[in-house]
Structure 1
Amino acid sequence: MKVIVGLGNPGRIFRTTRHNLGFRVIDKFRKRNGLPEFKSSKEFNSLLSRGSFNKEKIIALDPKNLIVIHDDLDLPLGKIRVSKAKGAAGHKGVQSIINKLGTKKFFRFRVGILPQQGKPQGVKKFVLKSFTRKEEKIIKRVVEETVEAVEFSLREGLERAMQDYNK
């Protein structure tokens, strides 16, 4: 069983922000695979959807079976990286998961949001802004690609996804 978490901030005002890229990917995955609507969970302080993919149930929480999808300001806009056992690199949502689990040993799908101009001054303000129209075109493509990468990892394994998607 796998747990797939898309990081972001709850609420309509954050829906299109850079920091909600994880939510966008997991919502697209949910819709594409016929999973039910998200439900709030006070226990996990996140959104959960119970269902199955490729005959595999999705919801347990064992770090080795955890997949976290999130925005990454260290990767260029539109780049995807599958990683395991890495530090949070300043991402507070990822750091919170590491702190609660007591380990970094889980898989992550990191989706780049770094603009061409490089890292902006006010990072917090930047990640809470919506994408520009030009960026949004890239993001629509990368959301699709990330969903495909997650599906691939569920079929072929996370290690194989790292090999195939980190080129």
Structure 2
Amino acid sequence: MASPGFFLIAGLGNPGSQYQRTRHNVGFLFIDYLADGHGWRVDSEKMQGLFCRGGIHGAQVLLVKPQTYMNRSGVCVRAFVDYFKIPLEHVLIMHDDIDLQPGRIKMVRQGGAGGHNGIRSIIGHLGTDVFARMKIGVGRPSIDHAGQGQPVDRYVLANMSAEEVHLFHQRASLMEEAVALFITRGIDVSMNLINGRCN
């Protein structure tokens, strides 16, 4: 059972309407989905982030969307952790992952950045890679017959297809369940009960 106190649930993305539906912004999209389910709006401004605060399963939870652009996400996350004195075991970061197919999610306890600039920034600012993540699959760009494909940086900054958006909404309830398990029972239980269910 997770201990009492604040939880920080941060979704990663880039601010601005031009990025709203891009693959790199699925963290933002899920934070908004989670807030909408509770009748909240993520529109308060603090420490270079948009956030809202409320109760989920008896815990005080901060839902945060850093507004620092992806590669400086750690600035905002560290500021919230310090200001609200949030233990690192109560931090969950949601972000896109190109190594998971669209529709897959994976909860992890810790680990390196895996080429993700937002996670790299958070590791750098927290001084540790021991914090939970929800990896949200966006897949890799397709390869043509000549072995050529869209560069990864352009792929993640491109808008999701209608099919990908539909799949995201199909999986949103499972992501919500993963958050509830993380808050009430901790990352290990969330990993054990969630990972593998989107295969």
Return the TM-score normalized by structure 1: 0.90
Aligned length: 165
Query: Could you tell me how far apart the structure 2 residues matched to 1:85 and 1:102 are?
Result: 13
Secondary structure in structure 2 of the residue aligned to 1:49 = strand
Query: Relative to 1, partners in 2 of residues 1:115 and 1:90: Cα closer, same or farther, differing over 3 Å?
Result: closer
Moved more, 61-70 or 150-159: 150-159
1:76 to 101, 108, 124: 101
Residues 44-59 of structure 1 aligned to structure 2 (within 5 Å): 45-59=48-62
Query: Could you tell me how far apart the structure 2 residues matched to 1:120 and 1:77 are?
Result: 17
Moved more, 95-104 or 47-56: 47-56
Secondary structure in structure 1 of the residue aligned to 2:14 = coil
Q: Which runs of 5 or more structure 2 residues have no equivalent in the other structure?
A: 1-5, 63-83
Partner of 1:32: 37
Secondary structure in structure 2 of the residue aligned to 1:58 = strand
Query: Could you tell me how far apart the structure 2 residues matched to 1:146 and 1:125 are?
Result: 26
Q: Is the contact made by 1:24 and 1:143 (CA closer than 8 Å) also made in structure 2?
A: no
Alpha-carbon RMSD:
1.9
Q: Deviation at 1:25? A: 0.7
Q: Deviation at 1:115? A: 4.3
Query: Could you tell me how far apart the structure 2 residues matched to 1:116 and 1:124 are?
Result: 10
Moved more, 102-111 or 116-125: 116-125
Q: Deviation at 1:156? A: 2.8
Query: Could you tell me how far apart the structure 2 residues matched to 1:144 and 1:84 are?
Result: 21
Q: Counterpart of 1:110 in structure 2: which amino acid?
A: K
Query: Relative to 1, partners in 2 of residues 1:120 and 1:154: Cα closer, same or farther, differing over 3 Å?
Result: farther
Query: Relative to 1, partners in 2 of residues 1:115 and 1:122: Cα closer, same or farther, differing over 3 Å?
Result: closer
1:12 aligns with 2:37: no
Secondary structure in structure 2 of the residue aligned to 1:51 = strand
Partner of 1:21: 26
Secondary structure in structure 1 of the residue aligned to 2:100 = strand
Residues 90-101 of structure 1 aligned to structure 2 (within 5 Å): 90-101=115-126
Query: Could you tell me how far apart the structure 1 residues matched to 2:115 and 2:105 are?
Result: 18
Aligned-pair identity in percent equals: 31
Q: Is the contact made by 2:141 and 2:149 (CA closer than 8 Å) also made in structure 1?
A: no
Q: Deviation at 1:154? A: 1.8
Moved more, 134-143 or 19-28: 134-143
Partner of 2:110: 85
Return the TM-score normalized by structure 2: 0.76
Q: Counterpart of 2:24 in structure 1: which amino acid?
A: H
User: Which of the pair has more CA radius of gyration?
Assistant: 2
Residues 77-156 of structure 1 aligned to structure 2 (within 5 Å): 77-115=102-140, 117=142, 120-156=149-185
